[in-house]
Structure 1
């Protein structure tokens, strides 16, 4: 499907890739003034107009001029289908694409494009026929029909990412997770830095049952190393980092529980509560398990995190108010735990107030702040 382009048309093609549509159109206008029968110039002119959606009618006119020169030109037919779609004539694209397949039955791209659009055309038709409701049987039939065409595209172009992208989309619409995962693997085999496929695979691994926050953060950090500008991956890393911060609050609440236990804050049947005030040695000893909890559960874990994750934690604290709230609750709970254990109380009334004061803010928001991770 490759053809030799005139130098002016080739430069215009590059300008369109750079989204410099006006400059491309100027070059193409000069070329068409020299040779109005240059089909490739007409096709590129249509592509430049498709780059600015308000100029879609001009794209349709340019493709019609190209097809008037050669009605069997595959590139012109494909561009004509795109122009029809943006001009609100989506159903007509099926006939154009099937004609292109008839003329070039071995060209993978036309099959992939038809599979990509056909199920949408069928669903739109079903909605129009059934009062804006899509019948389930029509939906499933449309996806099956499109999938057969997508598989033919893969057979003809086994190294073409777009063919697998279409097959993935159809599998996803069919809720076939096994096939969708297989298509993602094929996409990543061809393009290891494919943003969407990498994001989907990473999310699946990071959100699997039993995956801890640190492991999820590492998965997202690894993926971001391949696609550093990926917004989905950054959101995933933020979510995992936020889970790490929420874990600090649990450590503080555990220390608060140990403080309550150390002072025998709550009486139990058959047991005699410790006499107050507690000796200094006992009060200092109560600090040992708390220090161990923070050393093993926070400091050691933090030091084992990758540098990128640590940087993101600091960034998340600046960017996300809920991160600061969670850290504030952890600090407050820890302060209450220290006050309970280190002051030589002679009565348990104030320590009881401190216990509930440290616990209540966390309990009040613990479930509510769960989705505040992006």
Structure 2
């Protein structure tokens, strides 16, 4: 479907790609004044109007002028369908796209665009006929019809990513996860850096049963290396990083429990509590299990994290409030644990207060902040 372009039209096409629509229109206006029968100039003019949404009516007028010159021009018909959609004539685009398929039965894009729009057109018609409600049976029938057309697009254009994107959308709407996953794999085979497909595959792997926070963070960090600008994957990495930070609070609570055990805070039937105050050696020894907990549970794990994950942890603390709250709770619990173990208490009343003071703030928000990423 290639056509030789006049140099002015070719420059305008590049300007539109750069979103410099006004400059492109000025260039095309001069070309049309020079040669009013240049169909490609009219089509590019319509594209410029659709690009910055200045005027769908102007785009429609430009495509009508192109079709007046050649009613069977495929590029003009496709742009005409887009202009019709923008101007509120979406249901009518089906007829235009079917005309494209009739004129170019081997052109994959006509099938892909029809498949992408057909189920939406059918949904609109079903909603209008049922008081705004789209019937489930009508939707599934429309999706089935669109799927057949999408498969034809894939057969004609096996290397065309858009054809697989359309098939994925249809499978997703039909809740056919196996087919949707197959389409994602096909998309990533053709375009390993495809942002949406990569984000979907990564999310599926990161949220699989048994995947821990470290594994999820690693998956998102690897995916971001391929698509660094992906907002969904950055959110996924933030959530996984936040789960890692929540683990720090558990370590602090474990140390708080060790502190309570070290001072023998709660009486047990049949056993005599330790005599207070504890000696200096015992108090220093109580620090050993806490140091082991932090060395193995935090420091070692942190050092094993990917560099990108460590950077994101620091960034997350700066960007969002909840990570700072979690770290503050962990620090407060550790302070209470140290006060319990290192001060030579003669009574257990104050250590008991310190235990609850360190425990309650963390436990009170533990479930509330579970879904938070910031």
Deviations 1:43-101 (A, max 9, x none): 10100010122311000000001111111111111000000000000000000000110
CA distance in 1, matches of 2:359, 2:292: 21
Partners of 1:93 and 1:140 in 2: CA distance: 21
In the TM superposition, what is the alpha-carbon distance from 1:269 to its structure 2 partner?
A: 2.4
Counterparts of 2:204 and 2:258 in 1: how far apart (Å)? 37
Superimposed CA distance per residue, residues 94-119 of structure 1 (whole angstroms, 9 cap, x where no aligned partner): 00000110111110001100010000
CA distance in 1, matches of 2:271, 2:155: 76
- Residue matched to 1:145: 145
Partner of 2:105, secondary structure, is coil
| Cα separation, 1, equivalents of 2:225 and 2:23 | 36
Identify the residue that residue 373 of structure 2 maps to in structure 1.
373
Within 5 Å, give how 1:25-64 maps onto structure 2. Answer: 25-64=25-64
> Offset of 1:161 from its aligned partner?
0.3
Residue 40 of structure 1: CA displacement? Answer: 0.6
Secondary structure of residue in 2 paired with 1:91: helix
Greater mean alpha carbon deviation, residues 48-57 or residues 187-196: 48-57
Deviation of the 1:120 alpha carbon:
0.5
Unaligned runs of 5+ in 1: none
Aligned pair 1:193/2:193, yes or no? yes
Residues in 2 aligned to 1:18 and 1:54: alpha-carbon distance in whole angstroms = 16
**CA RMSD of the aligned region, Å?**
0.9
Matches within 5 A, 1:1-374: 1-374=1-374
For 1:365 and 1:69, the matched residues in 2 are separated by: 69
Q: C-alpha separation between the residues in 1 aligned to 2:267 and 2:91?
A: 76
TM-score for both structures, normalised by structure 1: 0.98
Q: Which moved more, 1:60-69 or 1:278-287?
A: 278-287
Cα offsets for 1:272-325 (capped at 9, x unmatched): 222222222221111111100100111111111111111111111111111111
Instruction: Give the TM-score of the pair, scaled to structure 2.
Output: 0.98
Runs of at least 5 residues in structure 2 that lack an aligned partner in the other structure: none
Cα distance, 1:268 vs structure 2: 2.4
Distance 1:119 1:195 in 2: 24
Tell me the alpha carbon deviations over residues 1-59 of structure 1, each in whole angstroms, 9 at most, x when there is no partner: 11111111100000000011111111111111111111111110100010122311000
Partner Cα separation in structure 2 for residue 83 and residue 370 of structure 1: 46
Q: For residues 84 and 271 of structure 2, what CA distance do their matches in structure 1 show? A: 83
Report how many aligned residue pairs link the two structures: 374
SS at match of 2:55: helix
- Listed one character per residue, the Cα deviations across residues 314-371 of structure 1 (whole Å, up to 9, x for unaligned) are 1111111111110000000011111111111111111110000000110111111112
